[in-house]
């Protein structure tokens, strides 16, 4: 009995670990409010594309400080940013992003950045 409980506990614990290490998320289109970025929490891979659009009422770059997603490693489709105020670095938002596969593209592009007037860099790694 105790052994069964132990096994169950182990299975529960292990499934939690696996769940946290691989959280697959669907395509997301995040619009308008910076708080929508919360939907990216713990995502390790986006199966599809990620669009972050029309966040124009952000007042300071500091607003992005709590939105850092180091877990996100890859996006199978494309990544698009359009008109997001005060975002200065995409690498700061997604420091762990290693690959954008481009299996789905936007007008032949897998990375689309436009109307980003405060952007200074894509990522430190790319600039080097």
Helices vs. strands in the chain: H and E counts, helices first:
3, 6
Q: Find the binder of ligand NAG among 42, 66, 104, 109 (CB under 6 A).
A: 42
Minimum distance, C-beta of residue 17 to ligand NAG, in the bound complex (Å):
10
Burial label for 120, CB within 10 Å (0-12, 13-18, 19+), is exposed
Specify the residue, 43 or 55, whose C-beta has the smaller distance to ligand NAG: 43
Nearest partner of 88 among 61, 59, 119, 60, judged by Cα: 119
41 touches ligand NAG by CB under 6 A: yes
H or E element, residue 45: strand 45-55
Specify the residue, 39 or 125, whose C-beta has the smaller distance to ligand NAG: 39
Q: Which of residues 15-34 bind ligand NAG (CB under 6 A)?
A: 20
Q: Binding residues for ligand NAG, per CB under 6 A?
A: 20, 41-42
């Amino acid at each position: 009995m105790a052994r069964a409980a132990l096994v169950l506990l182990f299975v529960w614990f292990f499934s939690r670990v696996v769940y946290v290490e691989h959280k697959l998320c669907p395509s997301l289109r995040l619009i308008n409010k910076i708080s929508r970025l919360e939907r990216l929490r713990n995502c390790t891979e986006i199966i599809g594309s990620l669009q972050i659009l029309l966040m124009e009422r952000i007042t300071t770059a500091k607003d992005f400080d709590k939105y850092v997603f180091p877990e996100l490693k890859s996006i199978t489709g494309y990544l698009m940013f359009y008109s997001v105020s005060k975002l200065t670095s995409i690498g700061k938002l997604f420091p762990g992003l290693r690959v954008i596969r481009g299996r789905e593209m936007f007008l032949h592009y897998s990375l689309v950045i436009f109307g980003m007037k405060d952007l200074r860099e894509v990522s430190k790694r790319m600039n080097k």
